[in-house]
């Protein structure tokens, strides 16, 4: 059954660069958004908290695939000046969607810091920004690491959806192969290779997430 490796794997690997690039840009967007929205949801200013909450619930409560279609096809019709490439639209949708989920990791970590830490910082006459930057975030980031690692793995798997907006990633290449190799054996072989390639890409992230989880747990237990 697996006799076409030399034919199928090189074709799939042509989409590897696109998959990795979309993942990296999407991750950058996701973690920037996670911190902005996560910190915003802990704000004492009502309007900031409201906007952050609406953003998070909007992108958590709607389909990632629909969000991609919106950025590629609908947004340019509503705002012609905001037309963007499918690559950027796919990465942006991934970043917004997974950033909304990751913002809950940020919010939870910040809120888990003992209030006594804030009181101690206030007694030292620190401003709100100084308290967040110098006292709360350094402790909270340690607690965020395991969640961020898991979020990165999910984001990598989510990159396969960019094939639906015709971005030539590994899944798109697999679909092209499937259309030109209609036998059941060939299709099983194609998607088996695709599964293996995604697993190999995710493997370093899996090990990193486990390492971060152990490191963070160790930090908490000794605190």
pLDDT digits (tens, 9 = 90+) for 145-154: 889 999 999 9
pLDDT digits (tens, 9 = 90+) for 175-205: 999 998 878 888 999 999 999 999 999 999 9
Q: 11-15, 43-47, 136-140 — which is least confidently predicted?
A: 136-140
Residue bearing the bigger pLDDT, 216 or 200: 200
From residue 183, alpha-carbon distances to 13, 178, 189 in Å are 21, 9, 10
Exposed/middle/buried for residue 57 (C-beta within 10 Å: 0-12, 13-18, 19+): exposed
Residue with tokens 């971060």, as numbered in its chain = 212
Exposed/middle/buried for residue 102 (C-beta within 10 Å: 0-12, 13-18, 19+): buried
Span 27-31, mean pLDDT? 97
In the structure encoding, which two tokens stand for residue 117, read together?
Answer: 């830490």
Span 109-115, mean pLDDT? 88
Element (H, E) at 203: helix 184-222
pLDDT digits (tens, 9 = 90+) for 117-147: 878 888 888 888 888 888 888 888 888 988 9
Instruction: Check whether 161 has a pLDDT greater than 90.
Output: yes
The mean pLDDT value of the chain amounts to: 90
Residue 1 is predicted with a pLDDT of 58
In the structure encoding, which two tokens stand for residue 106, read together?
Answer: 């940020």
Considering the four listed CATH numbers 3.40.1280.10, 3.70.10.10, 1.10.3720.10, 3.40.50.150, the one that applies to the domain covering 5-222 is: 1.10.3720.10
| pTM, rounded to two decimals | 0.89
Domain residue limits, the chain: 5-222
Residue 60 is predicted with a pLDDT of 93
From residue 23, alpha-carbon distances to 41, 89, 106 in Å are 26, 12, 20
Instruction: Check whether 36 has a pLDDT greater than 70.
Output: yes
Q: How far is it, in rounded angstroms, from Cα 212 to Cα 184?
A: 41
């Amino acid at each position: 059954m697996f006799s076409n490796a030399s034919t199928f794997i090189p074709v799939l690997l042509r989409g590897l660069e696109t998959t990795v690039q979309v993942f990296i840009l999407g991750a950058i967007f996701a973690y920037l958004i996670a911190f902005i929205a996560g910190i915003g949801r802990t704000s004492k200013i009502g309007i900031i908290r409201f906007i952050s909450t609406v953003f998070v619930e909007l992108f958590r409560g709607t389909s990632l695939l629909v969000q991609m279609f919106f950025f590629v096809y609908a947004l340019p019709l509503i705002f012609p000046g905001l037309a963007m490439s499918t690559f950027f639209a796919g990465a942006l949708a991934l970043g917004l969607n997974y950033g909304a989920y990751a913002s809950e990791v940020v919010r939870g970590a910040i809120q888990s810091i003992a209030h006594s830490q804030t009181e101690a910082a206030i007694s030292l006459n620190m401003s709100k920004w100084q308290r967040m930057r110098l006292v709360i975030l350094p402790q909270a980031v340690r607690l965020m690491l395991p969640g961020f690692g898991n979020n990165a793995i999910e984001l990598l798997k989510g990159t396969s959806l960019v094939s639906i907006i015709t971005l030539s990633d590994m899944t798109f290449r697999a679909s092209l192969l499937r259309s030109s190799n209609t036998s059941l054996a060939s299709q099983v072989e194609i998607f088996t290779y695709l599964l293996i390639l995604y697993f190999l890409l995710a493997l370093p992230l899996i090990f990193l997430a486990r390492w971060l989880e152990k490191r963070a747990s160790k930090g908490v237990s000794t605190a």
